[in-house]
Amino acid sequence: MTDWGKVIAFHGHPCCLLAIGYRATKVALGKLGVGGPGHGLVAVVENRTCAADAVQVVSGCTFGKRNFVYRDNGKYVFTFACMGEGKALRVSLKAGVLSREGDDFVTLMEKVANGVATEEEREEFYRRQEPLMKYILEGPVEEIFEMQFVDSEIRLPELCLEMITCSRCGEEMMKDYAFFQEGRPVCKDCSV
């Protein structure tokens, strides 16, 4: 199975957003001289779309290994670094790539992604996305992404395994996630 095939199998369907994460990761691994998962690789993803699934599959970075970092910026920006090297490659989608097929296509994509599209709209989206997906996967990389090496020492998030019990719901949580109200530990859900 090809890498693209593995990404589709993991995600469940091909789409242009998945293609963005796939191509960005493949390009970054090549520029960093990393053949595949491993090598102390860290991936920072600044969106929570289908693209993130592709980054995980191709890079081997995952939340569980703590080398897949999510920054809630709403950008198609991906930063890849090899631990301890002090440099990272920032890959960002160029403006206008997603809207190449028109603003109505972006609106259609949103409807499909949010589960409110009719069957006819879904069919239209999957038909119309084919040329965009092909362009993202095969087009000149310099037309699709901005890339720059940046000085950066990305550190893995620390992990605290000490557990504490919420005084309200009785569920355990990692101690560094506890809130204290009136001197008693409460989880995030119970703190509101």
Residue 74, token pair as written in the block: 């709403």
Task: Output the pLDDT for position 39.
Answer: 60
Give the pairing of strands 41-45 and 68-70.
parallel
Burial tier of 143 (Cβ tally within 10 Å: 0-12, 13-18, 19+): exposed
CA distance 27 to 37: 14
* Whether the Cβ atoms of residue 93 and residue 145 lie closer than 8 Å to each other: yes
CATH code reported for the domain at 3-103+136-151: 3.30.1330.130
Task: Output the pLDDT for position 151.
Answer: 80
Q: Mean pLDDT: which of 3-17, 25-39, 59-73 is highest?
A: 3-17
The answer to whether residue 126 scores a pLDDT higher than 70 is: yes
Q: CB within 8 A of 65, min separation 6: which ones? A: none
Burial tier of 37 (Cβ tally within 10 Å: 0-12, 13-18, 19+): middle
Percent of the chain with pLDDT strictly greater than 90: 78
* Whether the Cβ atoms of residue 36 and residue 82 lie closer than 8 Å to each other: no
Residue 161, token pair as written in the block: 């395994």
Task: Output the pLDDT for position 127.
Answer: 93
Mean pLDDT of 65-91: 90
CA distance 191 to 27: 43
Domain-wise residue ranges, the chain: 3-103+136-151, 160-192
Residue carrying the six token digits 């998030």 = 157
Chain segment 56-70, per-residue pLDDT in tens: 999 999 988 889 999
Please name the CATH architecture into which domain 160-192 falls.
Answer: 2-Layer Sandwich (3.30)
Three-state DSSP at 74 gives: coil
Chain segment 155-165, per-residue pLDDT in tens: 666 777 889 99
